[in-house]
Structure 1
Amino acid sequence: MKTDRLRCSLLHLLPLAFILTTGCETPPAVPAAPPFTPVADVKELMEMVIDPAADVVWESVGAIITAEGTEEIFPKNDGEWATVRNSALVLAESGNLLMLGERAKGEGPWMIMSQALVESARIAFEAAEAKDADAIFMVGGDIYSACETCHVLYWYDEDGAIPSTGSATPPTTTSLILPEKVRASTQ
C-alpha cells in the first residue's frame, strides 16, 4: 500500500520535474539576419521599379469617352491580369523597401506613406487576383494619394517644381486627401 502511494506520488512529481528542468534551458540562438545590401537609391527605385509598376496598375482599367462612344479598358485575359497582379505586388514590396536602411526618412510621414503604399498595393494585388476591374480602379486612387502625398512632402521643391526638371506644379498638401496621421504631422 505504502509502495503504491509512493509510486503514485513520484508519478505526480515527474511532470513537475520535467517542467522545472526544461524551463532552465537557454533558448536556441536566433541566427543573425543576412546583411542588407541596397543596390538602388530612392530615385532609382522610383524611376525603375515603382513608377513603371504603378503605371501598369493605373493604365490597366478606365474608360475612354469619345463622340463615338465609350471604350472600357480592363485586362481581357489571364496574361493581362497576371501583369497587373505582378505589378501590384512589386508596388507593395517596394513600399517595404522604402522603409529599410538609408532609404527610410524618419518615423513620421515617410513611414506612414510607405505603409499606405504597401496596403493600397496589397489591395490592388488581391483585386487583380479576383479579376475585379472596379476594385483596381478604386484602389488606384489610394495608390496615387500615397505617392503624391509623399512627393509633396519629400520631393517637390518649395516652388512646387520637380527638382530634376524644374517643371510641373503639384497639388498642395491641403488639396490632397491625407490620412489623419499625416495631416497632423505636417501642420
Structure 2
Amino acid sequence: MKKLFCAALITASFASAAQAEVYNFSYTFGGNGLVIDGSMNGDLHGDLLDNISDVKVNFNGHAFTGTLYQAAWNEQTSNWDNSLGAVVSTDAAKNNFLFVDTKDPTRFSNNYFYFTNNNSIGSEVFAVSYSRGDIGWDNPANPHGNWTLTAAPVPEPAEGAMLLAGLGLMGVLARRRRQA
C-alpha cells in the first residue's frame, strides 16, 4: 500500500513540472485573404514568446511538411540569421521571425513564412508554399490587426495524474475493504 501511494505521489510531482505552453497564431493577408496559422510551444514573458519550439504552420489550409527551422532578420548583415532566435510577440509590431524548412535561412525552400519589422525591409509578412503554388505577401503588414497569438486551451497534465492517482488509491481501498 505504501509503495503504491509513494508511486502515485512521485507520478503527480513529475506531471506538475513546468512545461512550455502551446500558443496558436494566425495572420490573414490583406490582398488575397489567404490565412497562415499554426501553433508553437513557448513561454510568454510580457508580450514576447521565449523558448520557441515545435513550430507547426498551415498555409491556406495545408500543413508545411518537414522540420521547420527558425531565424530572425539581422540588421547588421541585412539577411536572415539562424543564430538569432525568432522574435514572436502578441504585438505584431515586434515580430521578427522566419520559419523555413531548411537549415540555411538565406535560401528559399519549399515552405517559407516570415513576419518582420525592421529598418531594412520595414513591416512585412511573406509566406510561400512552392509545391502548392500558394503565395501571400503584405508590405506593409496588414494594418487591420489580423495577427493573433493566443494560448491554446490545454488541460494540465498534473490534474490528470492526480486524478489517476486518486482513482488508483480508491481502488486499493475498495479492494482492501472487500478482503477484510
Asked if Structure 1 and Structure 2 have the same fold, meaning a TM-score greater than 0.5 normalized by the shorter chain, the answer is no
| Richer in helix (by share) | 1
* TM-score, normalised with respect to structure 1: 0.21
Larger Cα Rg: Structure 1 or Structure 2? 1
Higher strand proportion (structure 1 or 2):
2
